[in-house]
Chain A
């Protein structure tokens, strides 16, 4: 290649890059919300319904209410493929456009951008994923992890197992297994389960599944067959979940003793198991189904007009509603920020304040058409998770149905552990900034 060609090529590339960057200027009267989503790659099965739910809800607000507080939302998806490297690229390439908050949708990506959040002054809303310790708002003022952390989830699983067995003391001597993706996400619940194992006297067995063996779990299930755990907790994602459900059915594991974390509770996760999957349980903090006014509004303003990427029968599925719930938190954070600051086009720093003072009451849920859809949620300056209530969903062979009351996580166990982990994190990351951001009044 001659020097001239090289120069020309570089110039052309620069022009293309420049044009792309110019294509979407965030106007002053728009609030720019980037969504890091994945519609491709091995985890697309879980990523697509969530991406659809998030973007449909936010665009529905634009259509129905003209945005939030009269300001339209500019929603842009950036494809990460659930790849941490690509996710960070997405972050870097969109943060200059006035992003008010980030939803990384991957624990790996969240861990990478947590240190950047305080520097760039853009909050991260990692809804029930990411670093559990980030629930400590005093150490992580820029990270939010409502409505629950993985650690809360693990404690709810143990409470549910105990309730079925007839009391926490009945867990003594039992074996409880955790089958998890061998990645930061999958390993999150381990500390809590270890601690609870020591407290209640059950044996914890770990069954890691490497990402490349997600669909090749044969020997793991042989181990499960040998160890005969009384309960099994699934912290899987993407293709790992349907494979685990199928293997469980194949190996005759009692399905009502197998409980997935909320991210292992997709419709496609259970459907593949056919009749054998009936009875499979998963934690959840919002309902499935389309019989809620909010979902009906999405139908009316987006889906029926052919503006959704989701096929109509997928609207209202568990993971789609997860996306809707997540988008609702984004919108409420922005609305709250407008209320606190009196500004219309808020900045990322305002959004952080809005999120921190989030207080979604029953009345507010009803107003949003989400009565009975989710539990109320309140965040404070110190508590960025809320440790909210969770319930057990059960697969009836065709859809998810609610199979328990709302269960409150064991905050007394989880919270001190979270705070200790947060302190550890700050200590091992030398120069971790002290919180300087003031707390809102009353939070």
Chain B
């Protein structure tokens, strides 16, 4: 230790810090202006920056309801995003087929049930089908493409998508089907309770969805962080060659992650299917995970969770409080906007690994 104290460094802020400071300052100024009446009601600044918050304060029940809806969507987005993250970690591929896997799993489940198989047996059979799918994807698509550039594998998932679309239409037809939510003992109806002068209604199916998704996320996180297979998976994620050299079976890992992605797809299919119906339109839902992945980072499990929640709650709040200002329907792009806003400050995503490449 040196005897002479180093002089205090002058206050230095990173660009992020400056931006945040600026935003906070602007917020305080706006608040003051509004309180003192400089910006009155109807002023554009008031409409955009003050009025939505006033609405939140005036009708807290709607705020709670909105946040709850966002939370439920967020957990479901997180679940879908997790399906992507697992495959990305294990094989470095963005799995374009995840969306159609959701549809395929849902259709298979309903299809088995319509054939007269009891609901829970149908669930188990569907898991079997998803396992078969994982094995065939590994055998037919991934194994021949080992050591090919990532983009080739990515394109291969497009191929899988179209095969599954065709197969699904061939076997089940294009008709939308009703999800067998009752038969699977999923609750219906809602719990309503008075809150701050209004009421908040929680759908039981949403509560169940949030709980099941949260449990699955926890189980998957545990599985991939704490078990031997999880360690193997992370080894594969770091380097295929190194993993092979210590005797990890790449093929086995691939089957496991694709099967896991299949399970995630099935749960997603059941939950979204129960909210509307099971049809090929559901595959678009999976693309909802894209902004989540951008935000959370493609390789991070906690990123998928936190990202899902931020996107879910953010887009619902945005649509509900700011959407009407521009005629509504902003939800679909707002998610990307939120993700991009975060990326300005953390280009690698919230929890993504910082890429350091030396030339």
Which of these binds chain A: B8-16, B174-182, B349-357?
A: B174-182
Which of these binds chain A: B143-151, B259-267, B297-305, B324-332?
A: B324-332
- Across the interface, which residues of A come within 8 angstroms of B65, CB to CB? 222, 225
- Indicate if A293 sits at the interface (CB-CB under 8 A): no
Please pick, from A206, A214, A220, the residue contacting B327 in the complex, using a CB distance under 8 A: A206
- Across the interface, which residues of A come within 8 angstroms of B201, CB to CB? 251-252
- Indicate if A239 sits at the interface (CB-CB under 8 A): yes
- Indicate if A120 sits at the interface (CB-CB under 8 A): no
Contact B280 A213, beta carbon cutoff 8 Å:
no
> What is the number of residues of chain B that contact chain A, defined by CB distance less than 8 Å?
40
**A47 to B169, alpha carbons, bound, how many Å?**
14
Q: How far is the CB of A100 from chain B (nearest CB, A)?
A: 27
- Indicate if B208 sits at the interface (CB-CB under 8 A): no
- Indicate if A226 sits at the interface (CB-CB under 8 A): yes
> What is the number of residues of chain A that contact chain B, defined by CB distance less than 8 Å?
39
Given A218-B69, A219-B320, A222-B320: A272 and B277 within 8 A (CB)? yes
Residue of B nearest to A211 (CB): B284
Q: How far is the CB of B334 from chain A (nearest CB, A)?
A: 10
- Indicate if B319 sits at the interface (CB-CB under 8 A): yes
Contact A272 B279, beta carbon cutoff 8 Å:
no
Q: How far is the CB of B110 from chain A (nearest CB, A)?
A: 12
- Across the interface, which residues of B come within 8 angstroms of A209, CB to CB? 329
**A214 to B277, alpha carbons, bound, how many Å?**
11
Which of these binds chain B: A37-45, A154-162, A400-408?
A: A37-45
Residue of B nearest to A243 (CB): B276
**A45 to B272, alpha carbons, bound, how many Å?**
17
- Which residues of chain A in 29-60 are interfacial with respect to chain B, using CB atoms and an 8 Å cutoff? 39-45, 47-48
Please pick, from A39, A212, A239, the residue contacting B277 in the complex, using a CB distance under 8 A: A239
Contact B329 A182, beta carbon cutoff 8 Å:
yes
- Indicate if A144 sits at the interface (CB-CB under 8 A): no
**A206 to B328, alpha carbons, bound, how many Å?**
8
- Indicate if B282 sits at the interface (CB-CB under 8 A): yes
- Indicate if B34 sits at the interface (CB-CB under 8 A): no
- Indicate if B73 sits at the interface (CB-CB under 8 A): yes
- Across the interface, which residues of A come within 8 angstroms of B272, CB to CB? 215
**A226 to B332, alpha carbons, bound, how many Å?**
21
Contact A40 B169, beta carbon cutoff 8 Å:
yes
- Indicate if B183 sits at the interface (CB-CB under 8 A): no
Residue of B nearest to A272 (CB): B277
- Across the interface, which residues of B come within 8 angstroms of A268, CB to CB? 175-176, 277
- Across the interface, which residues of A come within 8 angstroms of B169, CB to CB? 39-40
Please pick, from B62, B173, B190, B287, the residue contacting A212 in the complex, using a CB distance under 8 A: B287
| 9 new A-B contacts at CB < 8 Å, known A44-B280, A239-B277 | A39-B174, A42-B279, A212-B284, A214-B281, A219-B323, A219-B331, A223-B324, A242-B277, A246-B276
Nearest 9 pairs of A and B residues by beta carbon? A44-B174, A42-B281, A208-B329, A243-B276, A239-B281, A45-B176, A219-B319, A215-B276, A210-B332
Q: Could you list which residues of chain A lie within 8 angstroms of chain B, going by C-beta atoms?
A: 39-45, 47-48, 182, 206-216, 218-220, 222-223, 225-226, 238-239, 242-243, 246, 250-252, 268, 271-272
Interchain Cβ contacts under 8 Å between A and B, 26 examples: A40-B165, A42-B280, A44-B176, A45-B174, A45-B279, A45-B281, A48-B175, A182-B329, A208-B327, A208-B328, A210-B331, A212-B332, A213-B329, A215-B281, A215-B282, A218-B69, A218-B316, A219-B319, A220-B319, A223-B319, A223-B320, A223-B323, A238-B279, A239-B281, A250-B190, A268-B176
